[in-house]
Structure formats: C-alpha cells, structure tokens
C-alpha cells in the first residue's frame, strides 16, 4: 500500500490543476450577478466528490443556494466524520488592487511561500481548504485505508451568513448524524508551527441609516442651520468607543468571560512578533482596547468596527452639498456567552438613543451567530494534534481565532457534536482581500494531514 506522502508527490500536479479549475468559477454568493456561477460550482463540487469515491452524492435544494451532500458509509458500527466546507467566495473588489485577475488562478512565489502559492479569490477561503478533504478522501479510497464513515456537507452561503444551512441542518438531523465535525476554514500560526483553532468569535452585523432633511441641500444656504446626517453619523460612531477603546453600549460586556491570568499567560506562549506584525501591515503602531495585548484584542475580546460608510458626494472634484442620508455597516465580533441577538438589540437601542433632535435613525440587523470554544482534551482535538505532529514534526498549539464561522455553534446545538477546526491557511494569505492566495505547501500538507486525523480519531474512539 502506497503511503500518503508518496501519493501526494505522485499526483500533486493534478491536485493543483483540479483546484485551479474550481477557482476559475466566480462563486460570489453576495452578488446575484454571479448566481449561475454559484450554482455551477455546486455541480463541480458534486462531480469531484463522486470521482473521489463517495458512493452517494446529491445536490440539495434550499431556499437559497444548494448544499452538496456526499457520503461513503463503509460500516455503520464505525465512527462517522462529517466534513463541512463552503464553495462560495467573497466578492473580489477592489479589482484594481489585484496583481492578477481574481478568477484566473496563477502560481506565484512569495517570501512566505517560496514553493509558490495559488493566487485567486477563494484559494484559501475556502475552496482550496475544502478541496484538500476531497483529495484526502480520494487517497483513502484508492489506498483502501478509509478507516470509518465519512459525510460531506459543502454549502454556498457561508460568506453571507449560512441562512440556508441552518434551515438544512434543522431538517436533516438524522442524515447528518456524526461523531465529530471536521472543518478546514481557519488558519495556523506559520508553516513551521501548526495550530488548532479552539475558539471562534460570534458576530452581529447591522446597517444603520441616519436621515436629516428630506432632500440634499446647498451646504451654504442650509449649512449650520440643519443637522448634517454625515456629521451626526460620524459623531454617533465615534461615541461607541471611549478613550480606552472600550465599547460604550450599556450591557455590552455583561456576559463576557474574563480569562484568568494563568489562561492569558498560556495564550502569550504562542509565537508572535509585534514588530513583524506591524511591518507586514505597514503600521507605525497597533491600536486597541486598553489592558489587552494584540493577540487578546483579536481573539478573546469583543469588538465593534465600521465596515463601510457612505453618503453625500464622493465623485471627482467638489460639490457643496448636505446629504439627506448617511449610512454605515457595522460588525461586532463577540466572545462566547455573548448572545448575538441580545447584543443586536442592545446596539439598536443605544444607537437610536445617541441620535440628536433633527435626524431620524434606522438600524437594520443583517445576520449574526454565536461564538464557540472547544476543549483540548477531546478525542477529536487529540487526534488532530497527533496528525499535525506527524506531518509537521512539532505539536500544534491551541489558538482562539478572531474570525467567525457561526454555523459551528449551531452544529453543536442541533447535531450535538463537537467541531475540530484544522486550518492550513496563514493570516498573510489575504483572505477577503485583493490577492488572496494559498500556499502549495499548505495545500499539499493539508491533504497529507487529514487522513492521519481519520486514522487517529478512529483509534482513539475504540
Ligand atoms: N473562513 C472564514 C472565517 C475564519 C477565517 C475564521 C480565518 C478563522 C480564521 C469565513 O469564511 C468567514 O469569512 N466568516 C465571516 C463570517 C460570516 C458570517 C460572513 C467572518 O468571519 O467575517
Ligand atoms: Mn471561510
Ligand atoms: Mn470568509
């Protein structure tokens, strides 16, 4: 029997070519102009699962984009691993900042990826990481080493809040029954130091609208005499943080768990270099909540950020105008125990209370989800750590991530199973940004590591 390392070496060119084909389809879920491409991608994922050796694959229709479900059940008495991933991607804009077109994948070398990285929207988040699981299955089927049952659930709405997936999970509990959920949609510390994500932040995403006069006005004739919605919105947003960068919404921190000094000391052991961090982002300093260091600010602490703000005249030259309306999109990253719906309500109440006379304010909730933390003494965590240790030569470090995959908390609630987040991306891979890429090293290492997770998970389950 061929081992995984030599299988990957022998087939790597094809593995890369297949991923490149998948990356060419612009499956942008946020923009309906791409809806046929999103649907085409689900079809391509279905075919890839059939070819890899699933014995049943179907496209499940939902109120939104389809979910691809596949399985290979070898023995009902053995454990079942449920693999989750997403085939949709973020919008590629701003287009002009890409050094090569987002849906024409090319391999380029970088300082961090001397062996080359595939540049394309979705290469790391999440088509590339999802496809590692398809190729890992191919290997296990070809080499007759699949040690347990496997189910795949690959969705097309992760980047827009996974609404249809919640609908699907609630209706298919029996079909999705499993012993552990395995996801590669996160990152790791570096190519020399693997890590396992043990926490995700929750999310509340809202859009706000401030309305002043019923039409745009001449800023000379009316300026100073009526509320300017953009001035007001800027002031309201500014007052959401105090001078220590604490969020001012009453009750916002009520359920936030304070980590003990021991836990914080443990976190501080993860390799992190502030100078390199600043250098990578061209920053002269970092910024954030007083009393916490960078790695705490972006993982165990909740945050509030404006993601977009608009209104008035932004075209070429100058136009003297007071806009009728101003808008902003605001996200709050939450930590476990903060309930996203409750936080959305607290935000709404407080934000409306900040409005001065002379404007009206509307808050429109978009989507959200709960945070997640998972223990490091579970069979799943141990199996993942054994797998990483074998392929990287060093044990993985547990890390709480700042990102969100809201569906993970729902899996625990609805399917009663734990999720293991085995990510292979790097923070520098520029997910959601122009020039997103995924290292060839990371892609192939992922394919090598996943079958070992299966092996150790089954062994430890006995
Ligand atoms: N894969 C990311 C989440 C992620 C990335 C978590 C890296 C940890 C490390 C996922 O596709 C994503 O972008 N999630 C969104 C939330 C979603 C509801 C739109 C996010 O975190 O902004
Ligand atoms: Mn993702
Ligand atoms: Mn994403």
What's the pLDDT tens digit per position in 438-447?
A: 999 999 999 9
Quick: pLDDT tens for 304-358. 999 999 999 999 999 999 999 999 999 999 999 999 999 999 999 999 999 999 9
CATH architecture of 2-200+371-461: 3-Layer(aba) Sandwich (3.40)
1, pLDDT greater than 60: no
* Residues carrying CATH 3.40.630.10, the chain: 2-200+371-461
Cα of 90 from ligand 3 centre, angstroms: 6
CATH 3.30.70.360 occupies which residues in the chain? 202-256+302-369
Give pLDDT tens digits for 301-313: 999 999 999 999 9
DSSP alpha helix (H) spans, 302-372: 340-353
pLDDT at 322: 98
Provide CB contacts within 8 A for 283, sequence distance 6+: none
Residues 261-315: tens digit of each pLDDT: 999 998 999 999 999 999 999 999 999 999 999 999 999 999 999 999 999 999 9
Say which residues have a Cβ less than 8 Å from residue 265's Cβ, sequence separation at least 6: none
| Fold held by 202-256+302-369 | Alpha-Beta Plaits (3.30.70)
| CA 407 – ligand 3 centroid, Å | 13
Distance 429 CA to ligand 3 centre (A): 12
Calculate helix-pair angle for 35-52, 127-142, nearest 10 degrees. 20
Whole-angstrom Cα distance, residue 182 to residue 246? 35
Residue 381 CA to ligand 1 center (angstroms) comes to 21
Helix, coil or strand: residue 187: strand
Q: Which letter does DSSP use for residue 355 in this model?
A: P
**Mean pLDDT estimate for the chain:** 97
Question: Each residue of 381-424: pLDDT tens digit?
Answer: 999 999 999 999 999 999 999 999 999 999 999 999 999 999 99
pLDDT per residue as tens digits for the range 73-119:
999 999 999 999 999 999 999 999 999 999 999 999 999 999 999 99
Residue nearest to atom 10 of ligand 1 (CA): 405
pLDDT at 2 over 70: no
- Of 84, 195, 403, best ligand 1 pocket probe by most atoms within 8 Å of the beta carbon: 403
The pLDDT of residue 225 is above 80 = yes
Which residues neighbour 361 within 8 Å (Cβ) at sequence distance 6 or greater? 208, 209, 210, 211, 236, 351, 352, 354, 355
Q: Whose CA is nearest to atom 13 of ligand 1?
A: 159
Global pTM value? 0.94
Closest C-alpha residue for ligand 1 atom 19: 159
Instruction: Give whole-number Cα distances, 173 to 231, 355, 407, in Å.
Output: 50, 45, 14
Place of tokens 């070496």: 9
């Amino acid at each position: 029997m061929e081992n995984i390392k030599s299988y990957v070496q022998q087939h790597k060119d094809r593995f890369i070519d297949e991923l490149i084909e998948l990356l060419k389809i612009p499956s942008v879920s946020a923009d309906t102009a791409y809806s046929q491409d999103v649907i085409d991608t689900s079809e391509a994922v279905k075919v890839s699962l059939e070819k890899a050796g699933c014995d049943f694959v179907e496209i499940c229709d939902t109120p939104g984009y389809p979910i691809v479900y596949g399985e290979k059940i070898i023995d009902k008495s053995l454990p079942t691993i449920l693999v989750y991933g997403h085939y949709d991607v973020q919008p590629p804009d701003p287009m002009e900042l890409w050094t090569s077109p987002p849906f024409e994948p090319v391999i380029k070398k970088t300082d961090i990826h001397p062996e080359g990285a595939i540049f394309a929207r979705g290469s790391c988040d999440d088509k590339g990481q999802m496809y590692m699981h398809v190729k890992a299955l191919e290997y296990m089927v070809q080499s007759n080493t699949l040690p347990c049952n496997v189910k795949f659930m690959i969705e097309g709405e992760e980047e827009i809040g996974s609404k249809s997936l919640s609908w699907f999970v609630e209706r298919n509990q029996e079909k999705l029954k499993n012993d552990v959920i395995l996801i590669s949609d996160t990152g790791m510390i570096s190519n020399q130091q693997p890590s396992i994500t043990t926490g995700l932040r929750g999310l509340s995403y809202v859009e706000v609208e401030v309305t002043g006069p019923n039409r745009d006005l001449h800023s000379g004739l009316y300026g100073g005499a009526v509320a300017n919605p953009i001035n007001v919105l800027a002031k309201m947003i500014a007052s959401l943080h105090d001078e220590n960068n604490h969020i001012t919404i009453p009750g916002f921190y009520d359920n936030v768990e304070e980590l003990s000094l021991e836990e914080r000391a443990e976190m501080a052991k993860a390799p992190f270099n502030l100078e390199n961090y600043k250098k990578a982002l061209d920053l002269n300093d970092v910024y954030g909540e007083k009393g916490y260091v960078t790695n705490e600010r972006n993982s165990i602490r909740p945050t509030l950020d404006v993601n977009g703000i608009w209104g008035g005249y932004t075209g070429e030259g100058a136009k003297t105008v007071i806009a009728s309306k101003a808008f902003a999109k605001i996200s709050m990253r939450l930590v476990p125990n903060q309930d996203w719906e409750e936080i959305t309500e607290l935000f709404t109440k407080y934000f409306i209370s900040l409005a001065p006379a002379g404007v009206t304010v509307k808050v429109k909730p978009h989507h959200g989800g709960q945070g997640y933390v998972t223990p490091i003494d579970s069979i799943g965590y141990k199996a993942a750590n054994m797998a990483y240790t074998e392929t990287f030569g060093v044990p993985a470090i547990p890390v709480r991530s700042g990102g969100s995959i809201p569906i993970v908390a729902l899996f625990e609630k609805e399917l009663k199973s734990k999720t293991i987040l085995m990510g292979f991306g790097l923070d520098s891979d520029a997910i959601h940004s122009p020039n997103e890429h995924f290292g060839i090293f990371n892609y192939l290492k992922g394919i090598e590591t996943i079958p070992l997770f299966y092996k150790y998970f089954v062994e430890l389950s006995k």
